[in-house]
């Protein structure tokens, strides 16, 4: 049986926390995510924005939410992410705040599914938007080629007139059984319109980057595919 790399979604560095389209891309840093189900996603998001006490307690440099827009595994699916300059800071931050002991105003608005710490495998710039998120099984033998192919695809799409497209691959740390044997690939555009144009070009046969995408997909097996709408709600103390 092939050894499968145990991977998944998203880590950002301190320098990556910028909305500047020319901001740096890096594999430094780390972040944590809390996967939850929220009965009222809008109310929960605003509560996080208005009361940053949890973010302040962990020492995160920036935090936000991603709401699953399609491909939901359950009703009210979303995650809360927090960024740190390195994995050590992320793990220490996780010991300073227990979401199970959160104030009632938070606990009454969501059910916790699980938490994960993440580390990026490819250069990544944090600029939340409309995001395609795929979990992909990649064998250890194909890992280097997959990462190189992902970087090549990003460059090809940007060169085709989409400078605000970028992607990243991430490995999970301490995620239990939830993210085992999959790589999370996050492909990001500023809005749904921009993402839709990429799909239209691909299916119309006019995408100059199509061969790079097809070659990349041959290196792994897609296990799930969804769309998320992400935003940053906390920008550090």
Helix (H) or strand (E) holding 128: none
At 7, the pLDDT band (50, 70, 90 cuts) reads very low
At 106, the pLDDT band (50, 70, 90 cuts) reads confident
Tell me the per-residue pLDDT of 127-138, one tens digit each, with 9 for 90 and over. 899 999 999 999
Tell me the per-residue pLDDT of 172-213, one tens digit each, with 9 for 90 and over. 999 999 898 898 899 999 999 999 999 999 999 999 999 999
Structural domains for the chain: 30-234 (3.30.70.100)
pLDDT at 25 (0 to 100): 63
Distance CA 46, CA 52 (A): 10
Average pLDDT value for the chain: 88
Which residues are registered as beta bridge partners of 66? 79, 230
Q: Is the pLDDT of residue 103 over 90?
A: no
Is residue 164 exposed (0-12), middle (13-18) or buried (19+ Cβ within 10 Å)? Answer: middle
Give the pLDDT mean for 155-183. Answer: 93
Q: Which residues of 62-71 are buried (b: 16+ CB within 10 A; e: fewer)?
A: bbbbbbbbee
At 27, the pLDDT band (50, 70, 90 cuts) reads low
At 11, the pLDDT band (50, 70, 90 cuts) reads very low
Q: Is the pLDDT of residue 225 over 70?
A: yes
Identify the residue with better confidence: 123 or 226: 226
pTM of the complete model beyond 0.75: yes
């Amino acid at each position: 049986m092939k050894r499968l790399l145990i991977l998944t979604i998203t880590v950002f560095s301190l320098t990556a926390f910028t909305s500047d389209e020319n901001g740096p891309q890096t594999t430094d840093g780390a972040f944590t995510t809390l996967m939850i189900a929220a009965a009222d996603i809008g109310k929960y998001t605003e509560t996080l924005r208005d009361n940053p006490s949890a973010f302040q307690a962990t020492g995160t440099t920036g935090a936000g939410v991603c709401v699953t827009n399609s491909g939901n595994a359950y009703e009210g699916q979303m995650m809360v992410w927090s960024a740190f300059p390195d994995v050590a800071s992320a793990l220490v931050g996780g010991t300073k705040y227990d979401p199970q002991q959160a104030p009632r105003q938070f606990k009454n608005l969501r059910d916790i599914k699980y938490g994960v710490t993440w580390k990026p495998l490819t250069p990544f710039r944090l600029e939340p938007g409309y995001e395609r998120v795929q979990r992909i099984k990649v064998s250890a033998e194909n890992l280097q080629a997959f990462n190189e192919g992902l970087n090549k695809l990003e460059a090809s799409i940007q060169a085709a007139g989409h400078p605000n497209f970028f992607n990243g691959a991430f490995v999970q740390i301490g995620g239990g059984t939830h993210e085992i044997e999959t790589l999370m690939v996050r492909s990001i555009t500023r809005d749904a319109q921009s993402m839709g144009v990429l799909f239209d070009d691909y299916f119309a046969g006019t995408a100059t980057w199509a061969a790079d995408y097809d070659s990349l997909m041959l290196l792994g097996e897609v296990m799930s595919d969804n769309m998320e709408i992400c935003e940053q709600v906390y920008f550090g103390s």
